[in-house]
Chain A
Amino acid sequence: MPLLTMNNVHKRFGALTVLNGINMSVEAGQVAAVIGPSGSGKSTLLRVINGLEPIEKGTIEVDGVSTASLQGLREVRKQVGMVFQQFNLFSHLTVGGNVMLAQRLVLRRDKSEAEKRARELLARVGLEEKWGSYPSQLSGGQQQRVAIARALAMDPRIMLFDEATSALDPELVGEVLGVMRSLAESGMTMLVVTHEMNFAREVADRVLFMDKGSVLADGTPEDILVRPTDPRIQQFMRRLTEH
């Protein structure tokens, strides 16, 4: 059974249809990159999974739990980690506080257990020495790595990355992609909205191309990125290399 299943998912913002009947699934351990032009619904595709945006029609299941009920949605949120374009660290908490908060409140871990897990994960993203720093004292790349550690601290089954490197200065992109790459290698299931085509090609098992709220193509990185057959994908890939 797939870890994530979306069935006929529709989402509108007013008159604008953002997701137009999405059907797709992601197997455990898979790394799927989602690419496509801006406004094609990539971010929304991620945001409906943990209910940051409600859907009008269709069903979403994570590990067999449907997001239709409030209780199911809360369960799904525990299983789904999310990393945002703007990091969204809690500015009033230290790095350690950011990584411990949800462990304490949601998973009810005691302080020493939460701290142990937080320190492990910060070491994993190379930031153990930043434990007592506040987000404002960190670079964008460091903040994003803390955000990844914060999401991992919930021991999620699947991680969603919403353009995790788009807000970063070019020289900081590499350190975040490095963490994402090692996470992929460790077997984490990942759904990655990205404009980093090299990352998609090298790390993803699978690439989904979205256009106008639908998944236009779904295949290996080779099929989609290197030898696309669909003219819309060809045009998109041409534009990416044209500057």
Chain B
Amino acid sequence: MFLDWGSITTFYGQLLKGAGLTLVITGLAFAIAIAVGLLVCAGRISRVAPVRWASTVYVEVMRNTPVLLQIFIIFYGLPSLGLRFSAVTAGVLGLGLNVGAYLAEIFRAGVIAVPKGHREAATALALSKVQTLIWVVIPVSLRAVFPALSNMFLATLLGSSLLSVIAVPELTGETNEISSRTFLTIEVYSFSTLIYLALTLSCSIGLALLARWLFPRASRS
């Protein structure tokens, strides 16, 4: 058995480009997920029953069906309704809509984690509902859910490899392409695995540092 590690150097550029796209996709998908998550979370705790039901249906459908099928529906299914997306757009959208359902539940847990007394104190101090939300509820719940959010971010990064199936040239896609062209299968997949590991570990460290900066130790209730 002969492993040709040396040849991999030829593909550094292509793999790094793939890794770059992976990060971009992760960032965009997570941004969409946050927006969707906030919206659906607001729906889940809404006083209007139909809004609550619709949000619950959204969360349950998205969390209980394969994300790959959701991406297929957007990429292969929607064009027959006249909605045509590029592979990257469809992938980012599919991933973001899916992760958004998980974030909605995380945000909801965060809102529940805010002690009732915080809201009452804000009300007694004549803060408006919006001011209470922005200055009290969101910061306190963000701190409570930050570890869960960090996990979801890493899961999104890893999940973005699914987009290789609809031919998005992110890291896994580029790896597939190099492997099928050169038959350096073990070498190139192992190397990609290391790149993923480097990406997730640096994100983990970055998020941990961010948490330390955002939430001084003593500010935890």
Measured CB to CB, the residues of A under 8 A from B are: 50-52, 74, 77-78, 80-82, 84, 86-94, 101-102, 105-106, 133-137, 147, 150-151, 154
B139 touches A92 (CB 8 A): yes
B10 / chain A contacts, CB cutoff of 8 Å: none
State the majority secondary structure of interface residues on B. Answer: helix
Which residues from A are CB-within-8-Å of B115?
A: 88, 91
Question: With a CB–CB cut-off of 8 A, which chain B residues contact A135?
Answer: 221
Q: Complex Cα distance A201/B216, Å?
A: 44
| B118–A88 touching, CB < 8 Å | yes
Among B118, B140, B143, B220, the residue within 8 A (CB) of A136 is B220
Chain B residues packing against A (C-beta within 8 Å):
115, 117-118, 120-128, 131, 135-136, 139-140, 143, 215-216, 218-221
A94's nearest neighbour on chain B, judged by CB, is B219
The answer, among A102, A133, A154, for a CB contact under 8 Å with B218, is A133
Give the residue of A82, A105, A136, A150 whose beta carbon is less than 8 angstroms from that of B221: A136
The chain A residue with its CB closest to the CB of B123 is A52
Q: Is the CB of B117 within 8 A of A86?
A: yes
- Interfacial chain A residues near B127, Cβ < 8 Å: 101-102, 105-106
Does the CB pair A92–B120 fall under 8 Å? no
Decide: B218 and A88 in contact? CB cutoff 8 A.
no
Contacts of B131 in A (CB 8 A): 105-106
Set of chain B residues within 8 Å of A51, measured between Cβ atoms: 123
Q: Assuming A88-B120, A92-B143, is B125 touching A77 (CB within 8 A)?
A: yes
B142 closest partner in A (C-beta): A92
| Neighbouring B residues of A92 by C-beta, 8 Å | 136, 139-140, 143, 215, 219, 221
Please, how many angstroms separate the alpha-carbon atoms of A77 and B120 in the complex? 12
When chains A and B are docked, how far (Å) is the Cα of A129 from the Cα of B124? 26
CA distance A82 to B127 in the complex (A): 13
Q: Bound state CA distance, A78 and B125, in angstroms?
A: 7
User: Apart from A105-B127, A134-B218, what are 10 other A-B pairs with CB-CB below 8 Å?
Assistant: A51-B123, A52-B124, A77-B124, A77-B125, A81-B124, A89-B121, A90-B140, A92-B215, A92-B219, A102-B122
- Contact residues in B for A150 (Cβ distance below 8 Å): 121, 125
